[in-house]
Amino acid sequence: MTTLHIEPLGPAIGARVAGLSLAAPLDPPHREALRAALLRHQVLFFENQPLTPRQQRDFAAAFGDLHIHPVYPNVREQPEIMVLDTDADNLPDNDNWHTDVTFIDTPPLGAVLAAKSLPPSGGDTLWSSGTAAFDALSAPLQQWLGGLSAVHDFTRSFPEARFRDTPQYARWRQARDDHPPRVHPVVRTHPETGRKALFVNEGFTSRIVELQPRENEALLAFLFAHASRPEFSLRWRWKENDVAFWDNRVTQHYAVADYLPHRRVMHRATILGDRPF
């Protein structure tokens, strides 16, 4: 077994991993080493990793069953690989802090994102740690938040107006009907580490069930701002064939849309998780 070199990128989140080709089949010792690193650092970065869609799918599938997104396009031969292809004619929609696919009962365990084509500059992605954000709250607020639940709504990030006059409208309507709003705890417990993390995000969280409208508006505004503080986050400047692997259960991310009118193409594999508690 080759030795992995794991370089932490910050005290709260992030590590660079070297010494492994993600294109090769992942043996059990390396799989467990990466899982342990993911639990500790929450997002892992691998450089110079040219992957075919099938290789990316196989790497992600080593960590669980894969999700097929109900709206985004995918690679025809590998439907588990979602394509994020944005430019001036197809504007990005992920330039907000979000946790992927929290509108389902079992939001993803993680995701594997590969940089395929990049603009001359810009297009970075930021990640933040929900555990660090939770740990920084006062004990009374932690306790109170632990008793609250929140609604996660597909249409918050995929509004009807964006799809109504497009060829994708029928697919959007089916996705909306298949994914009614779901309720998850405001604070979730990581099923492997036992650590607690904030589990609300600007992309999909619409309201807190137990609160009145003005209370809800104020609290969510605070939590969204708190979760994205620089102390809990890092920024990755992509190079072609970089790969990121993150723990979606306890992180949020933000794709910076500063590269238009240039094109940016990313491939993502999404690993299904379990019901938050």
Tell me the per-residue pLDDT of 33-68, one tens digit each, with 9 for 90 and over.
999 999 999 999 999 999 999 999 999 999 999 999
Mean residue pLDDT of the chain comes to 96
What global pTM score does this model have? 0.95
- Catalytic residue list contains 188: no
- Cis preceding linkage at 261, omega within 30: yes
Query: Of 98, 156, 184, 267, which one is the catalytic site residue?
Result: 98
Tell me the per-residue pLDDT of 120-178, one tens digit each, with 9 for 90 and over.
999 999 999 999 999 999 999 999 999 999 999 999 999 999 999 999 899 999 999 99
How far apart (Å, rounded) are the C-alpha atoms in residues 29 and 27? Answer: 6
- Catalytic residue list contains 98: yes
- Catalytic residue list contains 184: no
Query: Of 30, 184, 249, 253, which one is the catalytic site residue?
Result: 253
Q: Which domains are assigned to the chain? A: 5-271 (3.60.130.10)
Contact 262, 54 (CB under 8 A): no
Contact 112, 56 (CB under 8 A): yes
Q: What percent of the chain has pLDDT over 90?
A: 95
Instruction: Label residue 167 exposed, middle or buried (CB < 10 Å: 0-12, 13-18, 19+).
Output: exposed
Query: Of 100, 153, 242, 247, which one is the catalytic site residue?
Result: 100
- Catalytic residue list contains 226: no
Contact 239, 116 (CB under 8 A): no
For the cut 90, the answer to whether the pLDDT of residue 3 exceeds it is: no
